[in-house]
Chain A
């Protein structure tokens, strides 16, 4: 059983900072987009190592499949 955590901080002016833990790949962006839709204009996106994990697995699998 995996735990997915999203921490959203809203400052006193309504500026939002959100961080995901345990959600890999583009899913974390989709998840945030759904939660924060209409709550403010996106300023920046910083992708963490976790974001690339799923992508890396996909590429490794592709390479593996080609070799076979």
Chain B
């Protein structure tokens, strides 16, 4: 004899489960680790919310057209899975954004670094030329013209 069993997707995410219940227009209250709705409740057990069978009263429950516990669970599961997938997608989007932000910061630092490297190089060039010019007897005037440095070296010979 063989048996085939199928379980509902474990409702491990409370937020998604509540959204699923909201969408199905199931009224509930939250009481500690329980989501209580009319005559049934979801209890947080072993890392997921499970429909407590002992609280279930088939006679008095108003399922909003759901015939039994299993069909109710099926529709909750369907909604839950949709919200869960959306949540995962949103988290992935946020993760990508965070990575992009991290990359943006890294690139900004790199741009700043090469800018500073360039400026330091130009300054070093300027100083080296000024030193050599002075050693050769030139008087040196330094002017800044737009983004350029202009060195005017003047020497008098007889």
Give the B-binding residues of A (Cβ under 8 A): 1-14, 16, 31, 34-36, 38-40
Task: Kindly list chain A residues whose C-beta atoms are within 8 Å of the C-beta of B118.
Answer: 12-14
Q: Which residue of B lies closest to A4 (CB)?
A: B155
Q: How many A-B residue pairs have CB under 8 A?
A: 70
Q: Scan B115-146; emit 1 where CB is below 8 A from any A CB, else 0.
A: 00010011001101100110010100000010
In the complex, the 9 A-B pairs of residues with the closest C-beta atoms, listed nearest first: A12-B147, A6-B153, A8-B151, A10-B149, A4-B155, A14-B122, A11-B148, A2-B157, A39-B125
Contact status A5-B154, CB under 8 Å:
yes
Number of B residues near A (Cβ < 8 Å) is: 24
- Report Cα–Cα, A10/B152, bound state, in Å: 11
Q: Determine whether the beta carbon of A39 is less than 8 Å from that of B150.
A: no
Set of chain B residues within 8 Å of A12, measured between Cβ atoms: 118, 122, 147-148
| Residues in chain A near residue B121, CB distance under 8 A | 14
B54 at the interface (CB under 8 A from A): no
CB distance from B138 to the nearest CB of A (A): 7
Decide if B129 touches A36 in the complex (CB within 8 Å). yes
Whether A6 pairs with B133 at a CB distance below 8 angstroms is yes
Chain B residues near A5: list those with CB within 8 A. Answer: 152-155
* A62 to B: closest C-beta gap in Å: 25
